[in-house]
Amino acid sequence: MSFSDKHSVGADLATAPGRLVRRWAYTVLTAGAAAGLCGVLGASTPALAGDVRGQLLLGAYHPAPPPKPARPAYNWEVENGVKEVARERVPAQRELAAVLIGAGDSKLPERIEVPVSGGALLPSTVVVRTGMTVRIRNDDEIGHELYVEGLDGFSAEATSPRAIRSVHLTKPGDWPIRDRLTPHAKAHLHVLADLIAIAKVEANGNYTFSDVAPGKYTLKVFHGPQIVASKAIEVGDKTLTVDPLTLEAAAQAAAKPSP
């Protein structure tokens, strides 16, 4: 609406005052008619879906380091001696997943595409609803063989560069994803029965759920196999901005997602 108004005003500035009045009148009438139509339609249909926005506070989040392997992963890891090393931050875009869980129908598509980039899945925390199909697209220049131990249909299968493989997931639960050809690559798969929406997490921790039906949900943030934030929200017909969420490594002890 405001864009239209500005656009109209901008146009009228170049016309004569009489034409300006007529245009104003036309615009007001059109807007009024539209508003009236919307009111009628609104009375006869459910509330409109809205967006949910928020931010994850990454600065204070220091996840527990992974268990030390029996054989060290390197011989040398020392500072370069020239410049102070950069501060460690969790790569939120690559490793975190923010989802809404609750009752009701989900508008999630039947298929989602997850790329393999930089040697591992992006993001490495994959959350899907039961019955969805995950299309794994290999964006790397080398092949991968992703697999999940103990999950039917997700056995090791070679995926060449630029190729895609599909995995249909019907069994709720969570499993680590491994890659035979890139041993360092680690990802985690969550298959939830009551998943409503999946947000795209930006590198700075911002996230957005689009087109969420009004209702009560639980916002959960997954990091690998663990839940690092959880908050109950109620979505109305307007965009909901959730207070910034603090990620707590200690809260990882929270129960695993109910399938």
Applying CB under 8 A, which residues contact other proteins?
69-86, 88, 94, 117-120, 124, 139-143, 180-185
- Nearest-angstrom CA–CA distance, 139 and 184: 17
Q: Smaller CB distance to other proteins: residue 162 or 168?
A: 162
Least distance to other proteins, CB of residue 84, Å = 7
Shortest distance in whole angstroms from residue 156 CB to other proteins = 12
Our CB check for other proteins shows the closer of 93 and 239 to be 93
Give the sheet arrangement for strand 186-192, strand by strand: 125-129, 186-192, 173-179, 144-147, 157-159
Q: Which residues pair with 195 in a beta bridge?
A: 101
Q: Which is nearer to other proteins, 31 or 158 (CB)?
A: 158
Among residues 23 and 186, whose Cβ is nearest to other proteins? 186
Instruction: List, in sequence order, every residue forming a beta bridge with 145; answer none if it has no partner.
Output: 158
- Which residue, 3 or 74, is less far from other proteins as judged by CB? 74
Secondary structure class of 259 (helix, strand, coil)? coil
The CB-of-26 to other proteins minimum distance in angstroms stands at 44
- How far is it, in rounded angstroms, from Cα 127 to Cα 169? 11
Shortest CB 172 distance to other proteins, Å: 27
Q: Tell me if residue 34 falls in helix, strand or coil.
A: helix
Kindly state the smallest distance separating residue 181's Cβ from other proteins, in Å: 6
